[in-house]
Structure 1
Amino acid sequence: MFYGFGVDDKDFDVKSMTVAYEEQMPDWIIPIADADGGDQICLGVKEEATGKVYFLDHEMTDGVKDTFLVANSFSDFMV
């Protein structure tokens, strides 16, 4: 399920989910979708990560090591 902006259900709001995962997530990605079971699909928003899509394994707690590149662009991710 993809998240939106300013939606009533905070479990589906990008800003709310960013706050919820801020302790586990590097600051260069934001969550854009639920990948089931609490894992997250994230979008790179800083420097060389910008525009790339990542998978965040929420059960790992090592920041960068629990973040895996999925696609080099959102367009590639959607194909």
Structure 2
Amino acid sequence: MGRGFFGNEDWKKKKEDRCEGCICDVFRTLDKGARVKIAFLSEEFFTNGGEINFTFLCFDDKTCCVTLRDDNEAVLVDCRDIIAIELLD
């Protein structure tokens, strides 16, 4: 008893620390509607070389998911898969 998920308490610390890094920190404080240019870890994510302009919608600190919108659709991205962000506004 009291051992937590799968028999240890380490999962709690791992979950709390999972969205670390300067890019994730930017999304924690970014205002909804901010325009950003993003470069992704994988250049194959988008056909234009891995960089595209978005409107920021929200950030979920529990899952590290960033919700962004380009001109056509909403996109969910893990903040740890973003290698650079430029604030356009």
TM-score interval w.r.t. the shorter chain?
A: 0.3 to 0.5
Kindly name which structure, 1 or 2, has the bigger radius of gyration based on alpha carbons.
Answer: 2
Hey, which of these two has a bigger chunk of strand by percent?
2
> TM-score of the superposition, structure 2-length normalised?
0.34
> TM-score of the superposition, structure 1-length normalised?
0.37
**Structure with bigger RCO (C-alpha 8 Å, 6+ apart):** 2
